A and B are shown apart, each in its own frame.
Chain A
Amino acid sequence: DAGVIQSPRHEVTEMGQEVTLRCKPISGHNSLFWYRQTMMRGLELLIYFNNNVPIDDSGMPEDRFSAKMPNASFSTLKIQPSEPRDSAVYFCASRLSGGVGSPLHFGNGTRLTVT
């Protein structure tokens, strides 16, 4: 199993540009989560999907952030326009929902730097 795959691994962009982060969950997993990690705030849950449907997006910081899951094997997190305070490591994680406490499987993250 290839695990959760995220791309790109690193992204450097200028303030005001659009940024798109991509995630391929583990095949067969039906829940997908986007987290953001910074030194100051730790790991923050941005949004999660069950069966491709967004369930809770209360962690999305602003309207500049949007996420989609067009099918079971692909999700995107878009920031438009980007700002320096968006600099962080963004993680995608997936799991098989329905089991009590099924573990999250994380990708290796996208390190975003907005200058």
Chain B
Amino acid sequence: SQQGEEDPQALSIQEGENATMNCSYKTSINNLQWYRQNSGRGLVHLILIRSNEREKHSGRLRVTLDTSKKSSSLLITASRAADTASYFCATDGGGSEKLVFGKGTKLTVNP
């Protein structure tokens, strides 16, 4: 069954604005990962947050995790046209080798 569910399904913003995407999941996790997919390409790993962490930063990316609500958010600050892509969260179902992905948020950053 699908673990991660992202919202919104689609987001359109202007360059320079911040973009926030949310992910909800159903079962316990060891960690949660965010990936990015450009059109016609494979997914690329962005950032991982462990279940005992609440917030993590990497460059213009900020990820939060609330295990009590089974939710995570990905914030991209000062967005650029090159950030246009689909963004997916993935969970490991409590330490399983399997990574289960949501359906993603399609982000469009208009120049």
Bound-state Cα–Cα, A104 to B33, Å: 10
Query: Is A73 at the interface (CB under 8 A from chain B)?
Result: no
**Least CB separation from B42: chain A residue:** A106
Say which residue of A31, A105, A107 sits within 8 Å of B97 (CB atoms): A31
Q: Are A45 and B88 in contact (CB under 8 A)?
A: no
The answer on a CB contact under 8 Å between B97 and A104 is no
Cα distance A35–B30 when bound, in Å?
21
- List residues of chain B with CB within 8 A of the CB of A105: 45
Q: What separation, in Å, do the CA atoms of A80 and B21 have in the docked complex?
A: 39
Interface centre among B31, B43, B104 (most CB of A within 10 A): B43
Inter-chain CA distance A97–B40, complex, in Å, is 27
In the complex, chain A residues whose CB is within 8 Å of the CB of B42:
4, 91, 93, 106-109
A12 interface residue per 8 A CB criterion: no
Q: Does residue B2 face the partner (Cβ distance < 8 Å to A)?
A: yes
Beyond A43-B88, A108-B41, A108-B42, whether A101 also contacts B30 by CB under 8 A is: yes
Is B45 in contact with A103, judged by CB distance below 8 angstroms?
yes
Is the CB of B26 closer than 8 A to any CB of chain A?
A: no
Count residues of A near B (Cβ-Cβ below 8 Å).
23
In the complex formed, the residue of A with least CB distance to B98 is A45
Interface presence of A14 (CB below 8 A):
no
When chains A and B are docked, how far (Å) is the Cα of A42 from the Cα of B101?
Answer: 8
Q: Which residues of B contact A2 (CB under 8 A)?
A: none
Which residues of B are found within 8 Å of A103, using beta-carbon distances?
A: 33, 45, 48
Q: With CB as the reference atom, state the residue of chain A lying closest to B47.
A: A103
* A108 CB, min distance to chain B CBs, angstroms: 5
Ordered by A's residue number, 19 sampled pairs between the chains whose C-beta atoms are within 8 Å are A31-B97, A35-B101, A42-B2, A43-B103, A45-B98, A48-B97, A50-B97, A55-B97, A56-B97, A91-B43, A100-B30, A100-B31, A101-B31, A101-B33, A101-B48, A104-B43, A104-B99, A105-B45, A106-B44
